[in-house]
Each structure stands twice: as C-alpha cells, then as structure tokens.
Amino acid sequence: MEGKELEKKTEQLRQELQDAFFWFHRHPELSYEEYQTTEKIREFLTEHGIEIMESELETGLIAVIHGEKEGAVRALRCDIDALPVLEESGVPYASETKGKMHACGHDFHITAGLGCAVLLQKKKKDLSGTIKIIFQPAEESARGAEKITETDLIDDVKLIWGFHADPTNPVGTIGIREGYVAAAADRFLIRITGKGCHGAHPDTGIDPIPAAAAMVQAFQTIVTRNSDAFHPTLISVTRIEAGNTWNVVPETAELEGTVRTMNREDRVLFQKRLQEITELTAAAYGAKAEFQWYPGSPAVYNDPEMARIAEETAKKQSLLTVPEESSMGGDDFSFYEEKLPGCYIKIGIGVGPAIHQPGFKVDPKILLPAAEYLTALLIENE
C-alpha cells in the first residue's frame, strides 16, 4: 500500500507542476512587471504550507524551508520574468499576451523551484539547515538579482545554486562545468559630434560617419591585439545611427554595442581601451565624442567543489551529465556570486529552438525530474 500511495502522491505533484507550468507559460510578464506571476507563486506555496519571507520586494519572493536538524543556510535562484517575443511555438498552452513570451524557460525555472520547495517541505524532519528558494524578478534586465542582494534577505546564506533551461540537450541531461560559464555583459554608447553641412560640400563640415566607421574597425583590435588570445572576449557594435536624408552630412552619429568578457582584468581593460579609441579617433577626424559605459552583470563562475557535487548528485539520480557549454551570454546570477560561492548548471529540456526565439519550448516531462534533482542537490550540500 505504501508504494501505491507514494506513486499516487508523485503523480499528483507531477500534475500540479504541469498545471502550474501551463499557467505561467500562458501569462508571461516582463521584467519588474511580474505581479500576477508573484501572486500565483505565493498561492502555490501557501497551499502547500511553505513559509514565505517578509520583504519589501514589489515582485518576486523568497520561500523558506527550515530543516529540523542543524546546518547551513543554502539557496536556489529561480528567475521569473518573460521576454518581449511573439510566440510561435505551437504549444496548446501558448502565451495569451501578444508580444510577450517565456522564451527563455523562466516558467520552467519557477515550476521546478516550486516542486523543489514542496519536496523539501516533505523532508523537513531529515533536512539539515535552511533552504531559501529565491523567485527572482527581472533577470532579463541584467540587474534583477541586485534587488535581492541589496537587501539583507540572503545575508545568512552560505552558498547558492542556479540553473537554466538547455534546449541543446535531451530531457534530463545535466550540463556541469567548473570555472567561468557565462560572460560579464556590459553595454557602451557613443555619441560623435561633428559639423553638419550639404552632402555636396563635405569640406565645409565635419562628417561624423567616417569617424564612426573607423571606430567600429578599430574596436576589434582590442580583441586581437590587446587581450590574451586564450581569454574569451567579444565586442559587438549592434547599432549605428546617423543622418535622416540622402544629401546632408549629419552633425551627429551614434554607436551602441556590448562587450563580453570572462576575466575581471579584461573587463577593466576593454572599458579603458574603448574609451581611448573613441576619443582619439574622433579627434583624428576633427570631431568630438562622448563615451558612456553601462556595467551589466559580472561573469558567472562555478565553484569547483559545488560543480563536483552537482555531477555526483546527477549520477546518483541516474541522469546523464555532459560538460556545460561556456557562453558569452550573461546572467545576473553572478551578482549573488559577488557575495558567496555559487554554481550555475544547465538542465536539458529537449532539443529544439534556441532561447529567446519565438519557437522555443520546454518539454513538460522535465518538470518533476528537475525538481527532484534540485532537491537532492540542496540536500547534498548540508
């Protein structure tokens, strides 16, 4: 009878998680707008008798499971926001809000986190220490984690786990690697000012467009000539804007783009060299330039011991492990790692379209296995 009862409860939780996942997918909310999402999370946790920390967060919340044995405080980060993407996945539970979609798997992250909370709550008697499950807003803004780290909500946490949906691997595959796995993601904006004139008489003005073009070319020398060839680095100019008609040399031009680095020293170097090249190139063309740097999230670094535990736990759960792909993409999980050790792993959701794409989708079969794996992972770190 006990086996049948356990099977019944497992199936009940599986169905609950699937229903919750479908709801989150149908109701995507963008960064800092996750009000309905937060209430749905709160409702689910309350129904299962799980404690929610008091906080002044407008969106997002933190669930707490207190073990009945002494031990350290650990945390799990689950991000909750969606993207401004028009869904084309074809799933029957598609987004009901046109132009908004969970195209990065955060609906999966929420649901796996909820399942983990329920499973941990059931294991309270045998659980050592305390687990905090952070349902974090605004990861896609690259600054949402700071909403948590700027408070005292995790001051007692000794280590933190993060995870992400992986559409490059089959359901249940766990990607793990020690060291850097995601880049620092910074933004730059450059405004070049020359002197406008008639397109037929460029000698009477100062054209900012050649200066902008020269900067775009010169920026790549930072990668090829200033940084270590064995360090992953990237500069992408993603927007160039100047002028509004065919026969007028404009007065201004703008460049905007992103810098991706893994190494802390490279991050400082790239900012310095970008500013130098910008200002000196503008001067060489007789123009002036204003350089603005917007720091984003730092690089994500996986603690070696935590990565080892993640791999061993996966094997105990009979899950396949593969080396986690290092990415020049960023994740604000790194803000937690500025304060405490962390590890960020990938969970296979079925091979399909990449994240941030209209066709992205998660196979619901992964919901309960992911929750069970994360539960085991948090228990292993007692």
CATH of the domain at 336: 3.40.630.10
> Are 172 and 46 contained in the same domain?
yes
> Are 324 and 369 contained in the same domain?
yes
pLDDT per residue as tens, the chain (382 positions): 467 777 888 999 999 999 999 999 999 999 999 999 999 999 999 999 999 999 999 999 999 999 999 999 999 999 999 999 999 999 999 999 999 999 999 999 999 999 999 999 999 988 999 999 999 999 999 889 999 999 999 999 999 999 999 999 999 899 999 999 999 999 999 999 999 999 999 999 999 999 999 999 999 999 999 999 999 999 999 999 999 999 999 999 999 999 999 999 999 999 999 999 999 999 999 999 999 999 999 999 999 999 999 999 999 999 999 999 899 999 999 999 999 999 999 999 999 999 999 999 999 999 999 999 999 999 976 5
**What span, in angstroms and rounded, lies between the C-alpha atoms of 16 and 371?**
12
**What span, in angstroms and rounded, lies between the C-alpha atoms of 107 and 101?**
10
> Are 303 and 321 contained in the same domain?
yes
pLDDT confidence of residue 380: 75
Give me the torsion for CA of 327, 150, 55, 83, rounded to 10°.
Answer: -30
Residue 59 is part of which domain span? 2-182+299-380
pLDDT confidence of residue 115: 98
Question: Which phi and psi (to 5°) does residue 23 adopt?
Answer: -65, -50
| pLDDT tens digits for range 287-313 | 999 999 999 999 999 999 999 999 999
> Are 51 and 170 contained in the same domain?
yes
Q: Which amino acid is at 2?
A: E
Q: Which amino acid is at 186?
A: D
Q: Is the pTM value of this prediction over 0.85?
A: yes
> Are 233 and 342 contained in the same domain?
no
Tell me whether residue 201 is exposed, middle or buried, using C-beta atoms within 10 angstroms of its C-beta: 0 to 12, 13 to 18, 19 or more.
Answer: exposed
**What span, in angstroms and rounded, lies between the C-alpha atoms of 310 and 343?**
9
**What span, in angstroms and rounded, lies between the C-alpha atoms of 132 and 180?**
24
Number of domains in the chain: 2
Last residue of a domain, one of 294, 323, 348: 294
> Are 225 and 370 contained in the same domain?
no
Last residue of a domain, one of 242, 264, 294: 294
pLDDT confidence of residue 2: 66
Q: Is residue 2 helix, strand or coil?
A: helix
> Are 177 and 270 contained in the same domain?
no
> Are 196 and 149 contained in the same domain?
no
Last residue of a domain, one of 269, 294, 319: 294
Question: Which phi and psi (to 5°) does residue 348 adopt?
Answer: -65, 130
pLDDT confidence of residue 7: 83
> Are 36 and 172 contained in the same domain?
yes
**What span, in angstroms and rounded, lies between the C-alpha atoms of 97 and 74?**
35
**Which CATH number do you get for residue 268?**
3.30.70.360
**What span, in angstroms and rounded, lies between the C-alpha atoms of 313 and 72?**
19
pLDDT confidence of residue 1: 44
> Are 173 and 252 contained in the same domain?
no
pLDDT confidence of residue 382: 58
> Are 225 and 335 contained in the same domain?
no
> Are 50 and 145 contained in the same domain?
yes
